[in-house]
A and B are shown apart, each in its own frame.
Chain A
Amino acid sequence: MASADKTARRKRRSEKAVFWLLRLMSLAVVGVLFWILGFIVVKGIEVIDWQFLTGMPKEGMTEGGIFPAIVGTLCLVAGSVVIAFPIGVMSGIYISEYAPDNWLVKFIRVMTNNLSGVPSIVFGLFGMALFVNTLGFGDSIIAGSCTLALLVLPVVIRTTEEALRAIDHSYRVGSLALGATKLQTIRKVLLPMAFPNIVTGLILSVGRISGETAPILFTAVAYFLPKLPTSIFDQVMALPYHLYVIATSGTDLEAARPMAYGTALVLILIVLFINLLAGGLRRYFGNKVKTN
């Protein structure tokens, strides 16, 4: 009996040790997150002021502001949202509500899954070959927006599909039994119910687009462009690319560091804002949302 007690105690001790290890490792991961955020915030907060946000870059991008980059990123995000959201939501509805369960639909689903695993640089290559060269858009907002739209399309589709699938089947049957057509059921019953989940997913995907660099590298961005775009066929500066440029290839890297910290902080703030917005909406609708 005494020896059984001993093994039990030893087991409990080793269990405790393992659990503490797990806790420590989890803490380390959170620590890394705070390290990154803290570092950028502390270094960047000194740089950010009104002038930084609304000024043009000056002195080989070592001074001045990042206004054209902010505007450029906004244009690219808006463009890709306009393209990707309608197509994505509609495909989501089709896959969830209309599609018969045959090989074609399975094919679409497998393709959507695969598309979400394709690296963003491959989208960049593809966008360059199709939109910039073949369709002749040149490096422009429209080419960059199309490329970014393709990138988030799978996310939008899956979000919509999952949101619709989460709705209990009885609502569909009930609506149809009351004499509503399928389209009416979708518009009046299913979409309103799925709305919170869809919107939250879409907002998160906006966060993803605004930080992407590789897809716009060869389709939209300019190294330095001290003016605002006037049409969708203009080249633009963009925040993530701007950060890459001033961090790695300026004429005077050390002098450009404060600008880089400021730009990184603006990017992080965008992401934080979008995450908080999505989280807030999630709580507001009081709905359990599945993200990724």
Chain B
Amino acid sequence: MKRLKKIAEAIAERVLMVSGFITSLVIVLIVLFLFREGAGLFGKPDVEEGYVLAVNRKNPVEKLSPRQIMEIFDGEITDWKQVGGAEEGIVVFRLNDITDYATEEELGPELDSIPQCLSRILSENSGMIAYVPKQYAADGFTGKRLAEGKITPRSFFGGREWYPTAQPSPQFGVVPLIMGTLWVSLGAILIALPFGLAVAIYMAELAGERIRRALKPAVELLAGIPSVVYGFFGLVVVVPLIQRGFGLPVGETGLAGSLILAVMALPTIITVAEDAIRNTPRAMKESSLALGATHWQTIRRVVLPYSVSGITAAAVLGIGRAIGETMAVLMVTGNAAVIPHTLLEPMRTIPATIAAELGEAPSGGAHYEALFLLGCILFVLTLAVSLSVEFISARRPKQTI
């Protein structure tokens, strides 16, 4: 009997221990999967996979940057001189233009003469750039294939354009997304911090027990409202208000996102800051009052300095919440992937980009991998937030003021 019990004890302990490890395992797995899915991006060709760019044999241009390729195919660059070639107009050629240059007989009944036709078309048009599947530019191809570029960490982290579906050269530059995320989150925290701190001070120092008991559930409720509901409210109320208030063509702006995020970050800020303020030793406050300081002076000169690390932690946690928030931001910020200059422009954050685009990105493609890399960035950002909060809270408040 006793032995049986002992065995049961041992088993129970093992089972509990295993479940304890699961959480740590999850973190490890998250890192593993995010980075595994994302890391494939670097080293991929910067032109759509399976396709090549080819030019006339006499064309001196050897290589084009992804940006140049995009601008050429968008018709923004129209002369080879602009990309370091001879002065000659650029003629853009895609495979479905082939019927403009060759008759059906030339292409053959099974379309098996396409490679020969391509060679001929390229040699006849000296300013042409052709974007064709690889197999058509293989054996016996007389045009010149441009050197393949690769997507590098530099072009990803330093790129200023995000056009993941551009043909033939998708642009994966995260700078506009990072800027958008920072603008929206910092805007949110600038709005939320004063209000959050005010509520925290009020609840910890001024409010009577009854008011406090009413405020606490209100703050919890604010935290409980789902983010889509915030997003929906922002969409139907805040966005039109901003549009009218500032006379903008569209109300979906970074400011709308900041306002909604501010409300969403409030509960975090209020709870953490209130806890910190409440932790001020009573003796410290009483000595300040006994010295003749008013209540406000005590709050400003004694309580706030004492709880400064907790308040900082509150602000950092609020920023963390704002950086990672997805749905509400996706619904109200307008999602234009351009580097913003004011809060009154549409902008796009990292989480919103993932949510909006992952559904359309084919699994395993460059776009899919780029979105997972965005997830990695987000993960690292929030990890930094958590660690810095731990660092801040670990610092003991100074005992002398």
Q: Which A residues have a C-beta under 8 Å from some C-beta of B?
A: 11-12, 14-15, 18-19, 21-23, 25-26, 28-30, 32-33, 36-37, 39-40, 86-88, 90-91, 93-95, 97-99, 107-108, 110-115, 117-126, 128-130, 133-134, 150, 153-154, 157, 181-183, 204, 207-208, 210-214, 217-218, 240-241, 243-244, 247-248, 257, 260, 264, 267-268, 271-272, 274-275, 279, 291-292
Contacts and interface: CB of A to CB of B under 8 A. Distances in A.
Given A33-B222, A122-B30, A182-B9, A244 B23 contact: no
Contacts of A25: 194-195, 198-199, 202
Contact of A36 (B225, B320, B378): B225
Given A29-B195, A91-B23, A117 B235 contact: no
B133 to A, nearest CB: 27
Given A15-B295, A30-B215, A217-B355, A22 B202 contact: yes
Interface string B209-236: 0000001011111111111111111011
Which residue among B217, B223, B225, B263 has the maximum number of chain A CB atoms within 10 Å of its CB?
B225
Nearest to A32: B263
Contacts of B21: 108
Interface stretch (B12-20, B138-146, B152-160): B12-20
B390 A129 contact: no
A226 B173 CA distance: 40
Contacts of B248: none
B201 interface: yes
Given A90-B15, A121-B375, A129-B37, A211 B24 contact: no
Contact of A272 (B36, B221, B295, B317): B221
Interface in B72-127: none
Given A26-B199, A122-B379, A94 B232 contact: no
A14 B296 contact: yes
Contact of A115 (B23, B206, B331, B371): B23
A218 B34 CA distance: 15
B326 A115 contact: no
A141 to B, nearest CB: 19
Give the size range of B's interface with the partner.
35 or more
Contact of B16 (A40, A93, A292): A93
Contacts of B9: 181-183
A212 B296 contact: no
B379 A118 contact: yes
Q: What 6 pairs across the A-B complex have the smallest Cβ distances?
A: A119-B324, A211-B226, A25-B198, A94-B16, A90-B19, A94-B20
A108 B17 CA distance: 11
Contact of B224 (A133, A260, A271): A271
B358 A218 contact: yes
A218 to B, nearest CB: 6
A211 B383 contact: no
Given A118-B382, A121-B351, A244-B327, A126 B33 contact: yes
A218 B351 CA distance: 13
A117 B375 contact: no
B266 interface: yes
Nearest to B230: A36
Nearest to B359: A218
A267 B30 contact: no
B65 interface: no
25 contacts: A19-B296, A25-B202, A30-B218, A36-B225, A86-B19, A93-B16, A94-B13, A94-B16, A94-B17, A97-B16, A108-B20, A117-B383, A118-B324, A119-B378, A121-B326, A125-B34, A125-B354, A129-B37, A130-B29, A133-B363, A153-B23, A181-B9, A183-B13, A211-B228, A291-B220
B193 to A, nearest CB: 11
Given A110-B390, A111-B24, A39 B233 contact: yes
A130 to B, nearest CB: 6
Contacts of B359: 217-218
Given A125-B354, A218-B358, 17 more contacts: A15-B295, A25-B194, A29-B195, A29-B222, A36-B230, A91-B19, A111-B23, A113-B386, A117-B386, A125-B371, A153-B26, A214-B327, A244-B231, A248-B331, A264-B228, A267-B226, A292-B223
A29 B211 CA distance: 14
Instruction: Tell me what chain B mostly uses at the interface: helix, strand, loop, or mixed.
Output: helix
A123 B203 CA distance: 34
Contact of A271 (B19, B36, B225, B323): B225
B363 A271 contact: no
B297 interface: yes
A119 B323 contact: yes
B358 A125 contact: yes
A275 B220 contact: yes
Which residue among B26, B203, B223 has the maximum number of chain A CB atoms within 10 Å of its CB?
B26
Contacts of B324: 117-122
B244 to A, nearest CB: 17
A28 B12 CA distance: 51
Interface string B288-311: 000000111100000000000000
A125 B325 CA distance: 14
Given A23-B206, A117-B320, A118-B379, A128 B358 contact: yes
Contact of A275 (B34, B224, B294): B224
B20 A91 contact: yes
Contact of A108 (B23, B217, B355): B23
B383 A114 contact: yes
B224 A207 contact: yes
Nearest to A93: B16
Nearest to A150: B26
B20 A99 contact: yes
B354 A121 contact: yes
A264 B355 contact: no
B34 A126 contact: yes
Contacts of B382: 114, 117-119, 122
Contacts of B36: 129
Which residue among B13, B228, B317, B324 has the maximum number of chain A CB atoms within 10 Å of its CB?
B228
B275 to A, nearest CB: 10
B20 A243 contact: no
Contacts of B1: none
B166 interface: no
Interface in B1-58: 5, 8-9, 12-13, 15-17, 19-24, 26-27, 29-30, 33-34, 36-37
